[in-house]
Structure 1
């Protein structure tokens, strides 16, 4: 008491977060590594940080399904995070690193006094049951099961995006990727070309259904010499759900992957929740809460200072036949539905948004009937109206005879664009477009169309325009093909076979050119697995040698 005399005590707390774990309450608070962790009886634990003397929630995590009562977190010296809680009538110790139950002790459930202690030599769990003190002890036993290769996901990988390259001091730069899966999670990982290993950095588990699409909005350029990288990550999938995160990647020499990842959950959106907040909804057709987001694309250039409301906008291809545009209010942590169009009247598989200088924003959507439609979305974004329809598209191109599984748009000089698409019938279609400003809206004109029927023996699920004269395609037939794009059409340059079955998607980037060497590209492919492929690309196909002169 004497030691406290003269000290000033504040009557009110510095920061209060009401209802953080719902009406069931908070069970524990732990400080570790500069962060604050809280657990509750809602089956989740949250990561917080102290920012300007205020608590800020970074993310919410659910360790496993069925663990509805979390009591405590334990951080082990080996870097594992143990979640202690109750599942039905059993006490559970869950490892977040291995994703398995380390202990499951039938004790009758929660609402009892208990204590757990672990060391390298023994583990003990004591609890009170019907007035008796019960003790459970175990000695560590050698594990007979050896994990040859740890899995990244429990089911098929549906989408992949490269975040960039991060270099820790004294270490080579490593590529960081994010993958989405049918197991309802997205995983941020490093994939090293030298060690040929994939190391997970963190898992995002806010989705209640499969993660079908990913989109990135980088805060700045990423080069192999960068020590840090900040990006916005959008993920979409089943149950009409979109999640948005801000990822901060920094070089960490002490980590096994040499990269540290900080995740901040920014916003989320679900159509059923949006419908519940709408006025005069009895006059509208009810939104389908089972809609799937098949593809996402960040609208470029919408955070420019010259726009009335600088923020990020996102285009989404939806299974209910619509193309929707969302706006991210990052300060308010909200995703707002801005506009939509039901022009396709069938499942929209792919969407791509691009910017035409000075300020013409165009969105392309591809559907299961083989058509690719283009909308001018400048007015809905710059004027910020309240949920209007996009109206009729500027242009519709029948590119294929069936569903379009891959779509990519590349800007060319003089206001022209190359639009490449791949279809279920194995064909590839490339059209050259010209954007011409009109009266209050942009206009589109097709300058040239090239098609390659039977380019692959199965669905073309990945296509990229690498250069104005070079196109890359990947298919379920497990072939990765480089095509020379010329006036005569598409001519195959080279073909590489990869090992990932049921290819779902690919992402590509150009590698730094070596002095005197040929330009080359990296491709990451996902499906029933993940694979990194390097492919070289000459400027043109080598010409055959001239015939020898007759003797």
Structure 2
């Protein structure tokens, strides 16, 4: 009678996540900092957080290939995250910092009792095998190998995008980049211009094949979720092999306590693969697969933020070897339109927004294929229908329609493409090809009439070509100003061109050190004295950042008397 009754447990769980680690189940749950981590026998561990009284999955981590049984996570005092699991019949301790196995002990597999303990002086692993208690113990020794320069990726870098710059007091501005590689991972890294050191902030390992294209939605403005006003926030789309697209929210802010002085939080938003519906089919082994898994995405076009009307969802355009231009919407990635107009592999795609005098917006798309053709589309209709399509439960594959205009720009495949809007409201479309040529055309968007598609027509005002601009494939091109063009090639030359009445004239050529150039990204920075400088980052078998002063603008042409 004198005992005090405690508060009763709730009758039902406050939050449940079904099938978080598949049919094999969850092996451990760990709380560290503000996050919750779970591991499972699916070879992944997940990072979660509690919002209100609901569990929210932020992202999925796959430590390494072959480690399909993860038992536990250990957070080391030096900030390293140790993943404990079983690879075949071996017990493995994997380091997230170095990306390598620290220990590999033959024990017979994971179906046994075991225990692991580590200290600065020694490490021990005990397990039961055939009824016997076995002990593995090793003294701490200095590593035999010293890492002079840590690698960013295990294979060549296929794409790069600049997220923005984070201002850190007492240091030079830190540029934040996202890189995608043939090693199936994407990396968010901070590159300091002062120390010339690239420090990885986060690794994205959701892709099952190479990451070949990246796109950022919207400007990298101030961060949210408690990251402060000095951070960056953007939506990232990544695409690549096996027709897979992933979408993330990136949140970067200053963190003086970390090695890079920048903290990055990654939230996985959505994913999509063309044959997801095929994998859900019953008795699929009895059917013939019509859409093979060999289709790949080679390029991602411009993304639109949800705040940009008339959209309710972010939208991204993709091009790939399935011979189609595709558009997908998030948060649930749903295909909203596609076209097989090119009838061959589509290598590049760029999207841009045109605003008419009355405020009406037209969404336009530019695609380039292996035959050297560049096609232009009006996708305003599919963009307006994106919300209704995203609400459908069954996959829909509507047609994109006929292109507004097709230009034969090159004699073979187009490996680089860029669209730049001029102050007059016209568009410069630059492209580079496998044959080393550079092509530039000036377009004007005008209201259509009669039989023009979607009430929009495009007129080519000017075309300029430079047949032998480079000695190899032109894999990077950017229009910096209406009179300046930057091109980069596999011949390891970065050339600055001036557009004038007589065509393209070379202003300067710089040799860079990255072999097998895959892509470049450019941006401009206004220095303290008002001087404008152009920066560019190049990727291939390595990463390199260059900058130079902007040349003076040419004087305006004299008026005719």
Aligning the two structures, in what range does the TM-score lie when normalised by the shorter sequence? over 0.9
| Deviation at residue 112 of structure 1 after TM alignment | 1.2
Residue of structure 1 in register with 2:184 after alignment: 184
> Does the 8 Å CA contact 1:301/1:355 hold for their aligned counterparts?
no
Q: CA–CA distance in 1 between the matches of 2:159 and 2:427? A: 25
Secondary structure of the structure 2 residue equivalent to 1:11: coil
Structure 1 residues 137, 502: closer, same or farther in 2, change over 3 A? same
Which contiguous aligned blocks of 4+ residues in structure 1 show a shift greater than 6 angstroms? Answer: 1-4
C-alpha change, 1:500 and 1:73, in structure 2 (3 Å) is same
After superposition, the Cα gap between the structure-2 partners of 1:14 and 1:171, relative to the gap in structure 1 and judged at 3 Å, is farther
* Contact 2:40/2:70 (8 A) holds in 1: yes
* Aligned twin of 1:371: 373
Q: For structure 1, which runs of at least 5 residues remain unmatched after alignment?
A: 543-551
Q: Does 1:93 align with 2:88?
A: no
Q: How far apart in 1 are the matches of 2:374 and 2:418?
A: 11
| 1:222–1:29 CA distance, 2 compared to 1 (3 A) | closer
Q: In the alignment, what sits opposite 1:547?
A: none
In structure 2, distance between residues paired with 1:425 and 1:195: 38
| Number of residue equivalences | 532
**Is the Cα contact below 8 Å between 1:376 and 1:441 reproduced in 2?**
no
Scaled by the length of structure 1, the TM-score of the pair is 0.92
User: 2:308 — aligned with what?
Assistant: 304
* Structure 1 residues 136-147: aligned runs within 5 Å: 136-147=136-147
Once residues 3 and 521 of structure 1 are traced to their aligned partners in structure 2, the CA distance between those partners, rounded to angstroms, is 75
User: How far did residue 414 of structure 1 move?
Assistant: 3.5
1:355 maps to which residue?
353
Q: Give the CA RMSD over aligned residues.
A: 2.3
Residues 321-341 of structure 1, C-alpha deviations (whole Å, 9 max, x = no match): 11111111x2xxx10101111
| Cross-structure match for 1:529 | 542
Q: CA deviation at 1:387?
A: 3.1
Q: Which residue of structure 2 lines up, in the alignment, with residue 253 of structure 1?
A: 256
Query: Deviations for 1:485-535, whole angstroms, at most 9, x for unmatched residues?
Result: 112111111111100000000000001234153x21111000010001112
Q: Which residue of 1 aligns with 2:419?
A: 409
Spell out, residue by residue over 1:257-311, the C-alpha distance to the aligned partner (whole angstroms, 9 max, x if none): 0111111111111111145679xx9xx9933321110000134476424x2x422
Q: Distance in 1 between matches of 2:465 and 2:111?
A: 68
Shift of residue 97 of structure 1? 0.9
Residue aligning to 1:122: 122
Equivalent in the alignment of 2:456? 442
Q: Compute the displacement of 1:219 (Å).
A: 5.5
- Which one of the candidate residues 295, 300, 325 is aligned to 2:299? 295
Give the CA deviation at 1:170: 4.8
Within 5 A, what are the aligned runs for 1:26-45? Answer: 26-45=26-45
Distance apart, 1:108 and its partner CA: 1.3
Change (3 A) 1:302 1:421: farther
1:490 aligned partner: 504
Contact 2:172 2:192 survives alignment (8 Å): no
**Distance in 2 (alpha carbons) for counterparts of 1:2 and 1:229:** 58
Q: TM-score, normalised by structure 2?
A: 0.91
Structure 1 equivalent of residue 315 of structure 2 = 313
Distance in 2 (alpha carbons) for counterparts of 1:472 and 1:275: 43
Between the aligned partners of 1:530 and 1:222, the Cα distance in structure 2 is: 27
Q: Residues 79 and 395 (structure 1 numbering): CA distance in 2 closer, same or farther, change over 3 Å? A: same
Q: Deviations over 1:449-502 (max 9, x none)?
A: 011111111111100000111111111111111111112111111111100000
What is the alpha-carbon distance in structure 1 between the residues aligned to residue 106 and residue 54 of structure 2?
A: 40
Written as runs of structure 1 = structure 2, the 5 A alignment for 1:379-418 is 379-384=381-386, 387-418=397-428
Rounded to whole Å, the distance in 2 between the matches of 1:409 and 1:299 is: 14
CA distance in structure 1 between the partners assigned to 2:175 and 2:530 by the alignment: 24
Q: Answer whether contact 1:466 1:472 (CA < 8 A) is retained.
A: yes
State which drifts further: 143-152 or 285-294.
285-294
Taking the aligned partners of 2:116 and 2:485, their CA distance within structure 1 comes to 59
How many Å separate the matches in 2 of 1:304 and 1:438?
Answer: 24
Alignment match, 2:50: 50
> How far, CA to CA, are the matches of 1:210 and 1:312 in structure 2?
23
Is the CA contact (8 Å cut-off) linking 1:324 and 1:339 kept in structure 2? Answer: yes
1:270 lines up with 2:276 in the alignment: no
CA distance in structure 2 between the aligned counterparts of 1:3 and 1:318, rounded to whole angstroms: 70
Quote the residue 1:548 is aligned against: none
Cα separation, partners in 2 of 1:125 and 1:275, compared to 1, 3 Å: closer
Does the aligned pair in 1 maintain the 2:173–2:193 contact within 8 Å?
A: no
Q: Check whether the contact 1:48–1:57 (CA below 8 A) recurs between aligned residues.
A: yes
* Structure 2, unaligned runs of 5 or more: 390-395, 556-561
Q: What is the deviation of 1:3?
A: 8.8
Deviation digits for residues 85-116 of structure 1 (CA, Å, limit 9, x no counterpart): 11111111111111111111111111211111
Q: Quickly say closer, same or farther: Cα 1:288–1:132, change in 2 above 3 A.
A: closer
The whole-number CA distance in structure 2 between the counterparts of 1:227 and 1:38 is 31
CA–CA separation in structure 2 for the residues paired with 1:139 and 1:6: 48
**Counterpart contact for 1:25–1:40, Cα < 8 Å:** yes
Contact preservation (8 Å) 1:168, 1:227: no
Residues 299 and 355 in structure 1, CA contact (< 8 A), matched pair in contact too: no
Deviation track 1:368-412 (CA, whole Å, cap 9, x = no partner) reads 111100011011111346532112110000111111110000011
Aligned counterparts of 1:222 and 1:483: Cα–Cα separation in 2? 35
For each residue in 1:308-360, what CA deviation from the matched residue of structure 2 results, as whole angstroms up to 9, or x when unmatched? x42211111111211111111x2xxx101011111111111100000000211
> In structure 2, what is the equivalent of residue 197 of structure 1?
197
